[in-house]
Amino acid sequence: MKIRIEIPEKLDYPLRQSTKKHRLVKGGRGGGKSESVARVIIERMMMGSGNVLCSRSVQNSIEDSVYSLFSKLIIKMELTPVFRILKNAIIYLPTGSRMIFKGCNALSDPKSESAKGLDEFEIAWIEEAHTITERDVDILVPSIRKEGAVFFWTYNSNRVCFVDEHFSKHSNAEITSIHYWENPFCPKTLIEEAEECLRTNSTKFREIWKGEISTDTSRKVLILAWIESALRLYKKDNPGREVYGLDVSDGGDDWDALARRKGMALEQLWQWEFPGGNTIKTAKKAVEYMGGIGTKAHLVFDRVGVGSGVKATMIEMFPGIETTPYNNGDAVEDKSYTYDESGAKNKDVFGNYGAQHWFRIRKWFENAYKKELGMKDKNGNEIEDYITINPDIKYLLELKQQLLQIEFRENERGLKYIVKAPKGTKSPNLADATMMSFRNPKEISGIITI
């Protein structure tokens, strides 16, 4: 059966001819990244390639995958006589090769054995790879071990991205950028949308269509420019007390995370895994990193869900350590205080304490940016309240990714709420630990209360 499979000329070499194991395609919308890779995979299967894994960082159902894209292409290209579209897989009938769809969250789940049995797979396609973490790569890449196996990675270039950073230094990787004006198959309606966006909102055009790092604060709590200012302003000697923030794993592929700040500086991060959310081990590990029993540091911990078990453990095993329980769902503090120059009160801006605190952190990050530019506060004074981050901190890239994924939404009353894990992203354990560490501690000596 002969068919003609067309893709943009710019992608012909990296997708078809390159000898590199890892082939990365990034850019803005309309570049044809996903459809081109899907077409090449169909082509390779028809040329005799073996099994295909289609993955992404988080996939909770088949609807989250590229299954529908393949199904539509197979029908459009009139290939249904040789491809059988099943409920959760696609089979190429002449060879029996199969295409399966599993997220990295399933592959890394200790209760699942999804990562096993991938030895005979020859192709892996990781879509939306800008959400992929270092842990995902460490699990996924060694699982596809057949000689000559190829990895395709497609992603938007407008995000801080681990795969971009990782594979830019990789000797067996090739990275290609493509945009809608380089894609001869880009629909006319999409081109018109891009040109209209350029005319009406050049900032959004650069983010959406050119794939540049976002500077849009209309839905994001933080932007990269603010975080980078916080990194550049860091000094080794920081006044103030030590406060730790502990985010407790809720199981699955989530890990415990601990952040240490001194004054207004984030100085260290840790993360570790105890399957099943073992709060006793978690509490012991946190205290170990805090300097052991007798430490003068203060611990802020998430008291909701699994984290509530930390309270009982601390009372029993470490009664002398000062702690402050944290709950995003708590009521807004200082409800009648004016929030900003508009005169709106806190109770009329935020839906809960979590949103209020994240916006407090947002302000401190923005202040770091303003401080670096030499700007003054509204009274003409030097800006004093701003966050800094140790640039040598462990897990820095992952922290950046997580901080940048935090979004906010407004309900019908206009109250702000935080969306910590937008669709396709994982629980931001490092960002949550960091956020909690910047909560003002309640002064409690050896007594743990809610």
Residue 24 pLDDT exceeds 60: yes
Q: Are residues 130 and 260 in the same domain?
A: no
Q: Pairing state of beta strands 298-302 and 242-247?
A: parallel
Q: Give the pLDDT score at 109.
A: 65
CB atoms within 10 A of CB 50: 18
Q: Are residues 230 and 154 in the same domain?
A: no
Question: Among 423, 428, 427, which residue's Cα sits nearest to residue 64?
Answer: 423
Mean pLDDT of the chain: 90
* Range with lowest mean pLDDT among 92-101, 124-133, 418-427: 418-427
Give the Cα separation of 100 and 212 in Å (integer): 32
DSSP string, 151-208: EEEEEETTS--HHHHHHTT-TTEEEEE--GGG-TTS-HHHHHHHHHHHHH-HHHHHHH
- The larger pLDDT score, comparing residue 378 to residue 102, is at 102
Residues 6+ apart with CB under 8 A from 211: 26, 27, 28, 156, 157, 158, 177, 179
Q: Is residue 4 part of a domain?
A: no
Q: Is residue 250 part of a domain?
A: yes
Q: Are residues 158 and 231 in the same domain?
A: no
Give the Cα separation of 90 and 62 in Å (integer): 12
Q: Which two tokens stand for residue 37?
A: 């890779």
Asked which of 178, 208, 238 is the last residue of a domain, the reply is: 208
Q: Are residues 62 and 197 in the same domain?
A: yes
Q: Are residues 182 and 228 in the same domain?
A: no
Q: Are residues 241 and 317 in the same domain?
A: yes
DSSP string, 96-135: TEEEEE--HHHHT-TT--TTTT-TTEEEEEESSGGG--HH
Enclosing domain of residue 380: 224-437
Q: Is residue 442 part of a domain?
A: no
pLDDT, tens only, 318-362? 777 888 889 999 999 999 998 887 889 999 999 999 999 999 999
Q: Is residue 215 part of a domain?
A: no
Q: Give the pLDDT score at 443.
A: 44
pLDDT, tens only, 174-198? 999 999 999 999 999 999 999 999 9
Q: Are residues 191 and 238 in the same domain?
A: no
Q: Is residue 449 part of a domain?
A: no
Decide: 234 and 428 in contact? Cβ < 8 Å: no
Give the Cα separation of 320 and 355 in Å (integer): 31
Q: Give the pLDDT score at 449.
A: 34
Helix, strand, or coil here: 71?
helix
Position 99, amino acid? M
Residue 6 pLDDT exceeds 50: yes
Q: Are residues 383 and 276 in the same domain?
A: yes
Asked which of 208, 236, 268 is the last residue of a domain, the reply is: 208
Asked which of 208, 238, 272 is the last residue of a domain, the reply is: 208
Per-residue burial over 341-379, b if 16 or more Cβ lie within 10 Å, else e, is eeeeebbbbbbbbbbbbbbebbebbbbbbebbeeeeeee
Decide: 419 and 406 in contact? Cβ < 8 Å: yes
Place of tokens 């923030």: 245
